[in-house]
Amino acid sequence: MLQEYLPVLIFVLVGIAVGVVPLAMGAMLGPHRPDPEKLSPYECGFEAFEDSRMRFDVRYYLVAILFIIFDLEIAFLFPWAVVLQKIGMFGFLAMMVFLGVLVIGFLYEWRKGALEWE
């Protein structure tokens, strides 16, 4: 019974090695020249001037949610395109209804000004 799990164990060990060996090689072989700028919490070129817990504009989250919604549409389109020959006209019409609802939602968001960034 233990022999059945040997390939799984080898796979796990190789996966761990692929993740750990490059990190270890980089730590051992990479240059180590720390300076105050590299050790600072911000490497953006200037000191932080505001609190890191500041509030973001709601539009930022709205754009992110809209991106996720319209990006997930692609996750439905690829499998649909692959099996379109098998599902026929019913599948085509179902996807057109789905895309129609998305277009209506997109137009609604556009008219409400959710996509405008000032």
Residue 88 lies in a domain: yes
**Of 31 and 51, the one with more pLDDT:** 31
Q: Do 48 and 40 meet the contact criterion of CB atoms below 8 Å apart?
A: no
Residue 48 covered by a domain: yes
Domain that residue 53 falls in? 2-112
Give me the mean pLDDT over the 40-59 stretch.
66
Q: Looking at the domain assignment, is residue 21 inside a domain? A: yes
For position 45, what pLDDT does the model report?
55
CATH classification at residue 41: 1.20.58.1610
Confidence band for 8, pLDDT divided at 50, 70 and 90: very high
Q: How far is CA 46 from the centre of its chain?
A: 28
What mean pLDDT is reported for the chain?
84
Residue 117 lies in a domain: no
User: Has this prediction a pTM greater than 0.85?
Assistant: no
Tens-place pLDDT, residues 21-45: 999 999 999 988 888 777 776 655 5
